[in-house]
């Protein structure tokens, strides 16, 4: 399916995902589908059964004696360092070295002839512990003096305390924002194949091949050049495969090298959910000062995060929560403080939005508080506090590309917001069991890695002498259509049909030192790197044609039909001529994002190249007797700049919205008092179903938007920003709940707003 849009060029067409047909027919090849080498063994993890304690003794004799077992791995079997910390803090062991710090922490691994044998054998371990006190949530950890897993951050502009003291009105509150499991369809998986000498090849489901390469080399005590990491595609990632796959790849690699046989590890869903990190949950203490017109004067906020037992990516995640605690609104005086708390839980990690959603929802809570305090539509408060171009964020970056006023105007008209809001108020005034709510919320999301060095990418393009093209880049495909978009860029740049381009697996053999496919940067970085490679090839080919045929360079045009002066020939014929003339038909492209800089010590800089914007209007119906609810209608408009592929981008907006809605409504993580995660399977952890989608779901792209910065084809990132549009459902639920008290106060729902929490909020307001 190909559907042309109003702009010219292959890079702006709605072309189906390159694997779409393969997904439908079952021919898409994932790591678990790879043909296993003869003699492949299978590994399973042995996980701890306490939240915190010392290992007094570990009897693994029954494990070793179990049928099919070929090896049992403990820390002593690791040739290099027992650590997979992504930030070099040496706080994230593969196997607990005598001290267990969360329930589900790996303490050993077993390798057997079959996966079933390995799993059964792992259950036979007998481990004695000395149980130590544990703290599970961030406030309990703070009170227990657990400390931080990494350095905290403060963002400050102006004098927040003074601004709060002078503000005509003030509100203080506490907001608990829950975490979220990635719940990818394809779980963590790795297969390691030993090579000669110190070489090993890893097939793994990961967003960060170079990270796996580095970690495997680290634990094997070999150079990175000895490790090859391959990724064809993933069945979802959402951040959960940025660092969390290190454990599995390293276990497979160690066993493969020790046993001289391929080793595969694929944990079941329960073990995956217990042993791998999730979205950080936060407890946020806030204070906002404002005036009778709803204008914000000052904001203070303390963000306490459940980080888990090690740092992982908690530093940049909690940083980004502060970066987005303003969302779309200007705070004249502001001070925001992160508290990355160490807890006796699995180490939390990257998740779509990377801390940004937890900051954005705090901004929306502040606006809702002001709206209810003044008896006004929160949309009025939102509009009154929107950034104006030139104003500085709390991290001192100027907003220069504000387009939310136009998005708001279009969304209000398209959703018929004002008439529908009045209808909702009229309905609720009748006082029935079913209450309705409606809300519009915006998003302003910064695009770039805040770790500036990650904002680089490479690509490799070969043209073979038959005119076919081989494309490889450092990004990974996880269902978001990155490969298709980059191929479109190459097709347009080279002037050829996209069918000529073969998109190949991501591999560290071809593009080195790749950045993670994360931070919504996949198309921005890899598209520009591929374009750079195309530019080199075109320059080389144009110079060759001009010299060989004796024409001016400006008369040469490369494409499916190549024009050289007055002559023309097919692309394949022209490439054959170039090959015979010994013209290099391969190019390595490179790109680094310009303009960005960030000084964490001062809390100032320009960490983001540009902002992506959007807004959504959601309407809900709530049963006040049970707390159950239905999302009646959602209208969303999202800014992707000049879309590289409108159909793929629209799909990303729709999927992100539903995932964001799930985070705030049904997806609840719950640990018992012993520290065991009890929501560790589909039976207890509820992602949104098809039946949970809005009854009416209207999504459109702001097709008039063009990125003012020089991005790939003037597009904007689409992976993470629309996730936060789901906050509109959360605020609509708050509006419905507040109706039982005639809107006199904010519902102050905590997230996720499960039916139980909705019902408790209703009862609280009724009292």
For 15-37, give one letter per residue: b (16+ CB within 10 A) or e.
bebbbeeeeeeeebeebeebeee
Q: Which two tokens stand for residue 584?
A: 């290099």
Q: What is the Cα–Cα distance from 70 to 63, expressed in whole angstroms?
A: 10
Q: What is the Cα–Cα distance from 314 to 84, expressed in whole angstroms?
A: 15
Q: Which two tokens stand for residue 328?
A: 């779309």
**Contact by Cβ (8 Å): 634, 694:** yes
**Contact by Cβ (8 Å): 251, 188:** no
Q: What is the Cα–Cα distance from 754 to 228, expressed in whole angstroms?
A: 45
Q: What is the Cα–Cα distance from 76 to 60, expressed in whole angstroms?
A: 14
Q: What is the Cα–Cα distance from 234 to 241, expressed in whole angstroms?
A: 9
If one counts every other C-beta atom within 10 angstroms of the C-beta of residue 151, the result is 13
Q: Rg for the chain (alpha carbons), in Å? A: 27
Sole residue written with tokens 């008209």:
413
Determine phi and psi for 29, rounding to 5 degrees: -100, 115
**Contact by Cβ (8 Å): 328, 696:** no
CA atoms within 13 A on the CB side of 91: 17
**Contact by Cβ (8 Å): 500, 467:** yes
CB proximity list for 349: less than 8 A, separation 6 or greater: 239, 240, 242, 243, 244, 276, 277, 278, 312, 313, 317
**Contact by Cβ (8 Å): 641, 715:** yes
**Contact by Cβ (8 Å): 300, 287:** yes
Q: How far is CA 241 from the centre of its chain?
A: 9
**Contact by Cβ (8 Å): 620, 631:** yes
Q: What is the Cα–Cα distance from 347 to 242, expressed in whole angstroms?
A: 13
Q: How far is CA 710 from the centre of its chain?
A: 23
Nearest C-alpha neighbor of 373 from the set 170, 160, 173: 170
Q: Which of 21, 720, 745, 763 is catalytic?
A: 720
Cα angle 446, 283, 739; round to 5: 90
Q: What is the Cα–Cα distance from 669 to 678, expressed in whole angstroms?
A: 8
Q: What is the Cα–Cα distance from 358 to 368, expressed in whole angstroms?
A: 16
For 230, the 3-state DSSP assignment is: strand
Q: What is the Cα–Cα distance from 638 to 718, expressed in whole angstroms?
A: 9
Q: Which two tokens stand for residue 607?
A: 């960490």
Tally the residues of the chain: 767
**Contact by Cβ (8 Å): 571, 561:** yes
Which helix (H) or strand (E) covers residue 285, if one does? strand 282-290
CA distances from 130 to 55, 56, 151, 343, 485 (A): 7, 6, 30, 18, 54
720 is catalytic: yes
Nearest C-alpha neighbor of 386 from the set 375, 396, 378: 378
CA atoms within 13 A on the CB side of 344: 28
CA distances from 602 to 298, 316, 332, 377, 598 (A): 20, 15, 18, 37, 9
Determine phi and psi for 356, rounding to 5 degrees: -60, -45
Residues with catalytic function = 720
């Amino acid at each position: 399916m190909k559907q042309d849009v109003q702009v010219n060029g292959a890079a702006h067409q709605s072309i189906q995902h390159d694997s779409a047909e393969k997904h439908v027919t079952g021919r898409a090849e994932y790591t678990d589908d790879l043909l296993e080498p003869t003699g492949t063994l299978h590994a399973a993890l042995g996980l701890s059964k306490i939240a915190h304690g010392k290992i007094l003794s570990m009897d693994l004799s029954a494990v070793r004696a179990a049928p099919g077992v070929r090896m049992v791995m403990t820390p002593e079997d690791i040739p290099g360092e027992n650590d997979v910390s992504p930030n070099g803090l040496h706080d994230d062991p593969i196997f607990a070295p005598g001290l267990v710090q969360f329930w589900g922490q790996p303490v050993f691994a077993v390798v057997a002839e079959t996966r079933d044998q390995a799993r059964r054998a792992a259950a036979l371990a007998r481990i004695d512990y000395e149980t130590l006190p544990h703290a599970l949530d961030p406030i309990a950890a703070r009170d227990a003096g657990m400390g931080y897993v990494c350095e905290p951050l403060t963002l400050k502009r102006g004098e927040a305390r003074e601004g709060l003291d002078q503000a005509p009105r003030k509100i203080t509150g506490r907001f608990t924002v829950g975490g979220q499991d990635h719940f990818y369809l394809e779980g963590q998986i790795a297969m390691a194949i030993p090579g000669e000498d110190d070489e090993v090849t890893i097939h793994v489901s990961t967003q960060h091949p170079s990270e796996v390469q580095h970690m495997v080399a680290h634990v094997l005590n070999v150079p990175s050049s000895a490790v090859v990491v391959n990724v064809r595609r993933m069945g979802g990632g959402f951040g959960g495969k940025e660092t969390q796959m290190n454990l599995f790849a390293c276990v497979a690699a160690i066993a493969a090298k020790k046993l001289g046989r391929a080793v595969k590890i694929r944990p079941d869903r329960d073990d995956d959910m217990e042993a791998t990190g999730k979205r950080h949950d936060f407890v946020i203490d806030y204070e906002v000062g404002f005036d009778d017109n709803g204008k914000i004067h000052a904001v203070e906020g303390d963000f306490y995060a459940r980080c888990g037992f090690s740092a992982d990516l908690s530093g940049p995640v909690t940083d980004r929560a502060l970066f987005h605690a303003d969302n779309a609104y200007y705070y004249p005086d502001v001070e925001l403080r992160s508290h990355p708390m160490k807890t006796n839980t699995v180490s939390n990690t990257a998740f779509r939005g990377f801390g940004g959603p937890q900051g954005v929802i705090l901004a929306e809570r502040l606006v809702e508080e002001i709206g209810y305090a003044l008896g006004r539509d929160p949309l009025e408060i939102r509009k009154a506090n929107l950034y104006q171009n030139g104003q500085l964020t709390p991290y001192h970056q100027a907003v220069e590309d504000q387009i939310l006023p136009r998005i708001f105007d279009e969304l209000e008209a398209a959703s018929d917001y004002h008439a529908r809001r009045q209808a909702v108020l009229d309905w609720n005034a009748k006082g029935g069991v079913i209450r309705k709510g409606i809300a519009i919320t915006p998003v302003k999301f910064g695009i770039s890695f805040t770790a500036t060095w990650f904002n680089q990418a490479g690509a490799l393009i070969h043209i073979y002498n038959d005119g076919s093209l081989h494309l490889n880049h450092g990004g990974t495909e996880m269902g978001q259509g990155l490969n298709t978009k980059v191929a479109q860029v190459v097709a347009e740049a080279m002037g050829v049909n996209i069918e000529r381009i073969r998109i190949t697996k991501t591999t560290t053999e071809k593009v080195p030192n790749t950045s993670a496919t994360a931070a919504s940067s996949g198309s921005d970085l890899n598209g520009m790197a591929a374009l750079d490679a195309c530019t080199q090839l075109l320059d080389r080919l144009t110079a060759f044609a001009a010299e060989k045929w004796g024409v001016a360079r400006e008369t040469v045009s490369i494409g499916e039909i190549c024009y050289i002066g007055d002559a023309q020939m097919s692309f394949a014929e022209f490439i054959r001529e170039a090959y015979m003339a010994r013209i290099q038909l391969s190019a390595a492209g490179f790109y680094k994002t310009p303009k960005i800089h960030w000084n964490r010590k001062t809390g100032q800089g320009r960490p983001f190249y540009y902002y992506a914007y959007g807004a959504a209007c959601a309407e809900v119906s709530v049963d006040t007797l049970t707390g159950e609810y239905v999302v009646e209608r959602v209208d969303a408009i999202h800014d992707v700049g000049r879309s590289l592929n409108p159909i793929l981008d629209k799909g990303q907006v729709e999927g992100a919205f539903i995932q964001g809605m799930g985070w705030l409504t049904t997806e609840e993580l719950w640990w018992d008092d012993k520290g065991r995660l009890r929501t560790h399977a589909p039976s207890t952890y509820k992602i949104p179903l098809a039946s949970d989608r809005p009854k009416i779901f209207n999504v459109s792209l702001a097709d008039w938007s063009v990125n003012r910065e020089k991005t790939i084809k003037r597009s904007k990132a689409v992976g993470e920003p629309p996730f936060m549009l789901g906050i509109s459902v959360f605020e609509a639920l708050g509006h419905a709940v507040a109706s039982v008290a005639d809107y006199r106060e904010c519902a102050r729902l905590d997230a996720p707003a499960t039916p139980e929490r909705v019902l408790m909020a209703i009862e609280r307001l009724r009292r």
